[in-house]
């Protein structure tokens, strides 16, 4: 029985690829195979970086050939739902969507929105469609369809040195607005009652007393009434 082949032109990379139930030729380096797989999944370099837990510069350096055989290869393969063996050697089937080992469960892309929009976010409305938000990012953890991303402002959630759970200014937090019943210690986004201010803090609840606690001891706790807008389910920052 003869195997059937189909020839595909990859216009993004100006290369010809040959596929027989997914084996690819003329994608000769690890970087080229990562780029090919990323484009097949419809991801940007930044979206792949978030899903794999690496920096955007890592993906860029790999695809441009500045790095070879990365230690992050397995994480990148999981994020791409691709065979790590194929990425490394070019042998076998590239699309490992069925047999891939368990990894981040990417339920789709989520929009990066403004803090003003977060304060008025209504999960009863239709979510953004691609193209309606400035940036769309892949979330590396299970989430609801109304999840969004915020860029952290200020240093109130920058923890003292040595604390690994810190959220420096400029990092991205993934917020699930369907998680509005936080537990003590959860990181949440909240809106202060009677004000338009939206803030990101640690939710505290002790003996029925609720308040918002910053991680940075230079900032005071917020003890005025507030409404939880959603729980932070993950973060990402350039390494």
Q: What is the pLDDT of residues 125-153, one digit of tens each?
A: 444 444 445 677 877 778 887 889 999 99
**239 and 181 Cβ atoms separated by less than 8 Å:** no
Residues 166 and 82 in one domain: no
Residues 136 and 63 in one domain: no
Residues 40 and 116 in one domain: no
**What is the pLDDT confidence band of residue 96, given thresholds at 50, 70 and 90?**
low
Quote the strand ranges of the chain, DSSP E: 6-10, 15-19, 109-112, 135-138, 148-151, 172-176, 187-192, 198-206, 209-213, 226-236
Of 43, 60, 89, which residue sits at a domain end? 89
Residues 77 and 182 in one domain: no
What are the two backbone dihedrals, phi and then psi, of residue 144, each rounded to the nearest 5 degrees? -80, 170
Residues 188 and 152 in one domain: yes
Higher per-residue confidence, 88 vs 171: 171
Residues 207 and 113 in one domain: yes
Residue 53 lies in a domain: yes
Q: What pLDDT is attached to residue 97?
A: 55
Closest C-alpha to 63, from 79, 82, 81, 76:
76
Residue 81 lies in a domain: yes
Residue 94 lies in a domain: no
Distances (CA, A) of 59 to 71, 228, 230, 233: 12, 35, 31, 24
Residue 80 lies in a domain: yes
| Residue 131 DSSP one-character state | T
- What whole-number distance in Å separates Cα of residue 229 and Cα of residue 221? 18
Residues 85 and 126 in one domain: no
- What whole-number distance in Å separates Cα of residue 99 and Cα of residue 94? 11
**What is the pLDDT confidence band of residue 194, given thresholds at 50, 70 and 90?**
confident
Domain CATH code at residue 199: 2.10.109.10
Domain CATH code at residue 81: 1.10.260.40
| Centroid of chain to Cα 83 | 21
What would the two tokens of residue 167 be?
Answer: 């959220």
**What is the pLDDT confidence band of residue 214, given thresholds at 50, 70 and 90?**
very high
Residue 195 lies in a domain: yes
Of 60, 89, 118, which residue sits at a domain end? 89
Q: What's the CA dihedral at 75, 202, 121, 180 to 10 degrees?
A: 90
Residue 45, pLDDT above cutoff 70: yes
Other Cβ atoms within 10 Å of 42 Cβ, number: 10
Of 54, 89, 124, which residue sits at a domain end? 89
Residues 38 and 129 in one domain: no
- What is the overall mean pLDDT for the chain? 77
Mean pLDDT of all residues in 42-64: 86
- Residue found by looking up tokens 């009677």 in the block: 194
Q: What's the CA dihedral at 75, 78, 83, 85 to 10 degrees?
A: 20
**184 and 205 Cβ atoms separated by less than 8 Å:** yes
- Give the strand pairing for 209-213 and 198-206: antiparallel
Residues 27 and 73 in one domain: yes
Residues 130 and 224 in one domain: yes
Residues 124 and 74 in one domain: no
Q: How many structural domains compose the chain?
A: 2
Residues 113 and 231 in one domain: yes
Q: Which of 5-14, 67-76, 89-98, 217-226 has the lowest mean pLDDT?
A: 5-14
In terms of residue numbers, what domain contains 61?
Answer: 6-89
Distances (CA, A) of 57 to 50, 66, 67, 68, 236: 11, 10, 11, 14, 14
Residue 98 lies in a domain: no
pTM over 0.75: no
Q: What pLDDT is attached to residue 100?
A: 39
Residue 1 lies in a domain: no
What would the two tokens of residue 238 be?
Answer: 């350039």
Residue 224 lies in a domain: yes
């Amino acid at each position: 029985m003869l195997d059937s082949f189909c020839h595909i032109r990859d216009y993004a990379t100006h290369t010809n690829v040959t596929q027989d139930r997914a084996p690819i030729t003329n994608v000769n380096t690890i970087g080229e195979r990562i780029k090919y797989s990323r484009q097949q999944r419809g991801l940007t370099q930044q979206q792949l970086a978030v899903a794999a837990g690496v920096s955007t510069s890592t993906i860029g350096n790999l695809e441009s050939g500045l790095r070879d055989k990365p230690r992050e290869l397995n994480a990148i393969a999981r994020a791409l739902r691709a065979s790590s063996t194929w990425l490394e050697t070019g042998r076998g089937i590239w699309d490992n969507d069925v047999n891939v080992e368990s990894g981040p469960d990417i339920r789709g892309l989520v929009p990066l929105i403004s803090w003003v929009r977060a304060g008025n976010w209504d999960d009863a409305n239709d979510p953004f469609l691609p193209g309606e938000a400035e940036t769309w990012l892949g979330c590396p953890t299970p989430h609801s369809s109304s999840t969004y991303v915020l860029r952290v402002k200020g240093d109130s959630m920058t923890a003292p040195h040595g604390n690994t759970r810190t959220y420096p200014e400029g990092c991205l937090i993934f917020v699930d607005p369907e998680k509005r019943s936080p537990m003590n210690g959860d990181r949440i986004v909240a809106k202060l009652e009677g004000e338009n201010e939206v803030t990101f803090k640690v939710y505290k609840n002790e003996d029925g007393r609720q308040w918002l606690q910053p991680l940075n001891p230079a900032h005071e706790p917020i003890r005025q009434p507030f409404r939880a807008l959603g729980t932070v389910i993950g973060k990402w920052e350039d390494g």
